[in-house]
Structure 1
Amino acid sequence: MTEMTTKPKADDPERAHLADVEDGCGCTEIWEHMSEARDEADD
Structure 2
Amino acid sequence: MTKAAERSPEPGEQDEHRDDAHLDGIEEGAGCTEIWEHLAEQRENEE
Q: TM-score, normalised by structure 1?
A: 0.70
> Runs of 5+ in structure 1 lacking a partner?
none
Computing the radius of gyration from Cα coordinates, the structure with the larger value is: 2
Q: Is the 8 A contact 1:21 1:33 kept in 2?
A: yes
Q: Which residue is equivalent to 2:45?
A: 40
1:39: Cα distance to partner?
Answer: 0.3
Which consecutive segments of 4 or more residues in structure 1 shift more than 3 A? 6-10
* Identity within the alignment, %: 41
